[in-house]
Amino acid sequence: MIRENIWTMRENLLIGDKYKEASDFLSKLDSDWKNLIKKNGPCNIKISFRLEPYQSLIKSVIFQQLHPRAGNAIFNRFLILFNNKFPDAESILKTPPLRIKSCGLSQNKLSTIIEIASLRLNKTIPNTSKLNKISDSEIIRLLTTIKGIGEWTVQMLLIFHLGRIDILPQNDLAIRKNYRKFKKLDNLITPKEIIEISKKWKPYRSVASWYLWSID
């Protein structure tokens, strides 16, 4: 446990340094970025080091296509079902599916969560140390083979579990809506357009996305 805590502290410090570099880089792009970063302060993405990749996937599935408040409500009920601890794969598979669904999950989300737990038990889903050795694109290719897991869900894993700093969730509607507000544009931009625009944010597109999510 002590060794794990020391490793987590070290990883937090290293990622914190990267986020500081990213914030400094983005603030120099133009006055809009400078003001947004000044308003929100240094990037503070919360990395879920204590969750295994399959658990982070399950959490992202719960939050899919939901307002954060609704997602948090369902997620909290999910944790309460397992004594306020994130369950391991075996515990999920031993629990009657209808009890899990009663947290507020759709049938599709329930099926995906059970599938993820099953794949973890047979080691199809790698652990954190193995994923850390794999590129972003390879992880996306591997995990999107799971029914119910799309690119956005894996991108959330990359940003909030693995701490990858150059991920752009181009299909995330909130990012594109907030960029429209941020730059006072007349029309909502497309995923293809945000990919082109984001080239200026590289190699810190995860951090740029975090700041765009922060816009009210």
- pLDDT score recorded for residue 16: 66
Active site residues: 172
Which residues neighbour 125 within 8 Å (Cβ) at sequence distance 6 or greater? 53, 54, 57, 116, 119, 143, 146
| Per-domain residue ranges of the chain | 2-47+168-213, 53-160
- Percent of the chain past pLDDT 70, that is, above it, reads 93
pLDDT digits (tens, 9 = 90+) for 1-45: 444 443 344 455 456 688 999 999 999 999 999 999 999 998 989
53-160: CATH architecture: Orthogonal Bundle (1.10)
Q: What is the pLDDT of residue 67?
A: 82
pLDDT, mean of residues 158-184: 95
Please give the class, per CATH, of domain 2-47+168-213: mainly alpha
Distances (CA, A) of 160 to 45, 48, 59, 189, 210: 7, 6, 11, 25, 10
Cβ atoms 144, 60 nearer than 8 A: no
Interatomic CA distance for residues 79 and 45, integer angstroms: 22
* Model confidence pLDDT, tens digit, residues 73-127: 999 999 999 999 999 999 999 999 999 999 999 999 999 999 999 999 998 999 9
Say how far apart CA 90 and CA 6 lie, in whole Å: 28
